[in-house]
Amino acid sequence: MITLHAWPTPNAHKVSIMLEECGLEYEVEAVDITTGDQFAPAFLDLSPNNRMPALVDDEGPEGKSVSIFESGAILIYLADKTGKFMPPSGNARYEVMQWLMFQMGNLGPICGQAHHFRDAAPERVPYAINRFTDEAGRLYGVMNRRLAETTYLAGDGYSIADMACWPWVRVHRYHGQPWDNFPNVKRWFDGIAARPAVQEGMKLLTDKRTKTRDILDEKSRDILFGKAQMAKR
């Protein structure tokens, strides 16, 4: 059995979508990041960086249990396990890999900061808001130019690179990026949104999903962004 340790955020949705696309059976263990579940010793054994998601597969390589943290690593693992959504070798594999890394190293971190300073920071910092909103717009532009030439980010085939980027683009309004500026991204987004497995994957812990501003009392803000992070190290 596969167990996904998660909370309903874009990084967790990447994995739930992939699990659904692959038709794998799995169960979900909620990790409430607003109350500090990510600092529990049992979870830190799985994810020493206290970030979710983490995945445990009781039937890993050679039939042995394996645990994996970092959403990009989980996607690669599941692609290798199933032989789906990433070519096993050659240039096409690296095409997928580079767009996956685009999300891991650029789209996710920058858009996360744009969302934070636009919607979650305790005070407005115009420099930070402008800096991360503008950089998010640049990254959306990179995707828009790419998708003017290809159906999906890594070419003609739907891949884990698309699954990684799609949940982040889904909350484009939090990044200050209107669809009108990125018609090719909108076309790509709508096509993926229509996939049944994506719709199922997005049901992950829907009863727990809330807007950031609605859960940010002083205690949860400290757990997510403040000194509590340092104290738990």
Cα–Cα distance, 2 to 7 (Å, whole number): 16
Residue extents of the structural domains in the chain:
2-84+199-231, 90-195
Strand, coil or helix: what is 152? strand
Query: What is the gyration radius of the CA atoms in the chain, in angstroms?
Result: 18
Which pLDDT tens digit goes with each residue over 5-55? 999 999 999 999 999 999 999 999 999 998 999 999 999 999 999 999 999
Homologous superfamily (CATH) of 2-84+199-231 is Glutaredoxin (3.40.30.10)
Residues with Cβ < 8 Å from 216, sequence gap 6 or more?
120, 224
CATH number for domain 90-195, candidates 1.10.150.80, 3.30.70.100, 3.30.365.10, 1.20.1050.10: 1.20.1050.10
Mean pLDDT on 167-192: 97
**Strand ranges of the sheet holding 2-6, from the earlier edge strand across to the other edge:** 26-30, 2-6, 54-57, 66-69
Cα–Cα distance, 8 to 32 (Å, whole number): 9
Q: pTM of the prediction?
A: 0.93
Which pLDDT tens digit goes with each residue over 93-126? 999 999 999 999 999 999 999 999 999 898 999 9
Residue 115: count of CB within 10 angstroms of its CB: 22
The residue among 132, 195, 202, 138 whose CA lies nearest residue 167 is: 202
Q: Residue 233: is its pLDDT beyond 90?
A: no
